[in-house]
Amino acid sequence: MGCQLTKSALNGRTQEYWDQKPGYDCYINELLGRELQEASKDPTRLRGVGKPVHTLALTVGESFEPLLQVVCVLRPKRVVLILNRHYGVALNRVSGSVQGKKLQDLIKQLHKVADIPDDIRPALIDDEKIVPRVLKQDTPTCVFRVLHEEMQKLEAQPSEAQPSEDFTNVVDITGAKKSMVVGAFLYAAHSGLPITYVDFDEYDTQRGKPYGYTCRIGEIANPYEAFHLRDWEQVRRLYESYSFRNARTLLGEPAAGGNSGTGILGAMSRTLGGDGGEPLFDQNDIERVMRLASLLEMYEAWENGDYAAAKRLRDSFNPPLPSEVVPWSVEELGDVWPTTTGASDARTAADTLLGAHLALKQGASKPSDSLFAQPARLLTYVHDELAKIERLITRNEDYRSAYLRAAGLEEFLLKARLCMSWLNGVLSVMVGGGSPVASNTLSASDQANGFGAIVSHSSADTMRDTLRRKQSLKLQHVRMTVELGSSAPNFGDYWKGKTLDFDAFVSSWGNPGFSRLRGEAIHTHLYIPRSIAEAALDLIRAAVTEFEANWLEHFHQGTLGSMADKLVEAPSWAQLCKVCELTFLPPRLRQ
């Protein structure tokens, strides 16, 4: 009581409420009405059930906020609170009756809240109109029986529960745990009552909480079908947002060896009622979903840059996967990319990963083995990384990571230009105080040492200045100095006119602000807004175009033609359903 939230924007106001934890009285008076006002601006959000509601049965969980929203939107004449025996854990455990009394008192406050819109402000003020029912046992059968009793009080109170033809009774499962959901669906199927549910479009990923003003409150039309398809709808949404691990988790595991399984696969392979009969779906359909699960695992490895693991998973499919659903990088990089498979501990894994990564860039035995000497693989990596940077902005909204990866790719391309110039003999090298010679005329040991030093060089600004012919690149620990020879390609100034122009955006130290900002973001948790991440993406796209046209095609003519129609993104959901033959899904869920 007496709490006052200070933020005006709903997003910030909601976070303030979460952080302060002031209690439900504050929520009702400071946030609930504003949430519903905002949600009501979209006619698809607060749909209700199409009829006025007489009795609303609320399955009560730990959180009251969505339940209070439901009471407002449906405006029932009577509420039945379906309560578990206990709530909370250990010392914070409370009885169902205490939980019910708390919610009962809160519901009675709603008619006084001024900023709840008039058309959805409830008028429940009497205790007898808000009936708590504590379950004797937390079982589906007990839930069914309580709902049946409360909705069918014909003899004792014929006017209490039976609505007129213009009204309907409703069961809301928003707060329900699993046993409640099962019982509620059974009763709804038995009586033909509508079931409602509160969903949310936006969640705070750090706090794991939904933003109340993004609520969607309405009827689940067909209880059995809709709730089952809801899981598939979520799998599709997760897949399309590249949350492959979470989508895979939702699919679960099939029942096997006395284990009832989990998730969608568990439901598909389970028999109803434990009667030992056949499962709802035949084995072919279950295997198709398992194939989808394996595909999601492959995509997760690919998106995480574990091309070797993704390739192993790709090779395990029988029948083989069609090429149109396998990212280009899995095929090109899977056989050469570093992996920690077989490492017994973290130290061994770290040593293995570092050694393999350096060998990939420097060449396992000589510079000509390097990734920089393999134009198709080099181009594959560049485009795969560029696509991931784009997704970090457009799908993940992780702008700091996008900026850092864009800066990393820009540095990688600078190094690639120098390494390709070395491998093709257009770098002039001075060893010690000697005269400049072409890089490909050095001894084998000097070539390996010099090339390795370029690969290990870590200053993007000095590499860029060397390519601009503004200075020589000093490789001090191998006593070499290198610069572009006269036959080397011209380095195009792809940054000119860009927001993060290297010459216009300069730090107080005199170096490009692009590089300095990268360093600051690496060493501190510096916030990068979307505008800067998008500017970095614009810059790196220009860098890739310049690299391809002036350097890759110069040294390896025709390479760009090999990337036509190559897949750098996950295929569409519709294509995935087709490949996995998920024909048992309704057509709208396969599109």
pLDDT digits (tens, 9 = 90+) for 107-138: 999 999 999 999 999 999 899 899 999 999 88
Q: Give yes or no: residues 280 and 211 share one domain.
A: no
Report yes or no on 368 lying in a domain.
Answer: no
Q: How far apart are CA 164 and CA 90, in angstroms?
A: 45
Q: Is residue 212 part of a domain?
A: yes
SS3 38: helix
CA angle 471, 472, 474 (to 5 degrees): 130
Residue 168 maps to a domain:
yes
Report the sign of the C-alpha dihedral through residues 492, 496, 498, 502, in that order: positive
The number of distinct structural domains making up the chain is: 3
Q: Region 232-243: what's the mean pLDDT?
A: 93
Question: Does 342 map to a domain?
Answer: no
Residue 256 DSSP symbol: B
- Determine the pLDDT at residue 274: 43
Residue 154 above 50 pLDDT?
A: no
Q: What is the pTM of this model?
A: 0.65
* pLDDT confidence of residue 50: 87
pLDDT value, residue 262: 87
162: confidence class by pLDDT, cuts 50, 70, 90: low
What is the pLDDT at residue 150?
Answer: 86
pLDDT in tens, 258-295: 787 888 888 888 765 444 567 777 889 999 999 999 99
Q: Where are the beta strands (DSSP E) in 408-543?
A: 427-431, 437-438, 473-475, 480-484
User: What mean pLDDT is predicted for residues 154-179?
Assistant: 72
Instruction: Work out the mean pLDDT of the chain and round it to a whole number.
Output: 90
pLDDT value at 160 more than 90: no
Task: Report residue 215 as tokens.
Answer: 């609520």
* Residue whose C-alpha is closest to residue 534's, from 579, 499, 510: 499
Give the mean pLDDT of 14-21: 91
User: What's the pLDDT at 155?
Assistant: 39
- Token reading at 282: 């035949």
Distance CA 122, CA 76 (A): 7
Does the residue 27 lie in any domain? yes
For residue 226, the model assigns a pLDDT of: 42
Q: Residue 166: is it exposed, middle or buried by C-beta count within 10 angstroms (0-12/13-18/19+)? A: exposed
Q: What pLDDT is attached to residue 222?
A: 54
Who contacts 167 (Cβ-Cβ below 8 Å, separation ≥6)? Answer: 51, 52, 53, 54, 77
The helix/strand/coil state of 130 is strand
Beta bridge partners of 13: none
Query: What is the DSSP-derived secondary structure letter of residue 37?
Result: H
Task: Determine, yes or no, domain membership for 80.
Answer: yes
Coil/strand/helix, residue 9? coil
**Rounded Cα gap, residues 476 and 460, in angstroms:** 16
Provide the residue range defining the domain that includes 444. 374-563
Which candidate, 297, 209, 286, places its Cα nearest to that of 249?
297
Beta bridge partner(s), residue 483: 428
Residues 401, 311 share a domain = no
**DSSP label of 115:** T
Q: Are residues 251 and 200 part of one domain? A: no
Q: Read off the CATH number of the domain in which 84 is found.
A: 3.40.50.10770
- Answer yes or no: do 180 and 42 share one domain: yes
Pair 279, 198 in one domain? no
pLDDT in tens, 82-112: 999 999 876 678 999 999 999 999 999 999 9
Say yes or no to pLDDT of 307 above 60.
yes
Average pLDDT of 550-577? 92
CB-based contact 431:558 (threshold 8 Å): no
Nearest Cα to 144, choosing from 107, 106, 181? 181
**127 in any annotated domain:** yes
Provide the angle, in degrees to the nearest 10, between the axes of the packed helices 513-523 and 530-547.
Answer: 120
**Do residues 268 and 388 share a domain?**
no
Rounded to whole angstroms, how far apart are CA atoms 368 and 539? Answer: 30
User: Averaged over 455-465, what is the pLDDT?
Assistant: 94
Are residues 79 and 164 both part of a single domain?
Answer: yes
Q: How many CB atoms lie within 10 A of CB 20?
A: 12
| pLDDT at site 295 | 98
217 in the same domain as 294: no
Q: Is residue 40 a part of any domain in this protein?
A: yes
Q: Which amino acid is at 304?
A: N
Residue 54 has phi, psi (to 5 degrees) of -85, -70
Q: pLDDT for 27-85, tens place per residue?
A: 999 999 999 999 999 988 998 888 899 999 999 999 999 999 999 999 999 999 999 99
258 and 136 belong to one structural domain = no
- Do 471 and 490 share a structural domain? yes
Whether 192 and 291 share a structural domain: no
Q: How would you classify residue 363: left for phi > 0, otherwise alpha for psi between -120 and 50, otherwise beta?
A: left
Same domain as 548, residue 502: yes
- Report the pLDDT value the prediction gives residue 589, as an integer from 0 to 100: 84
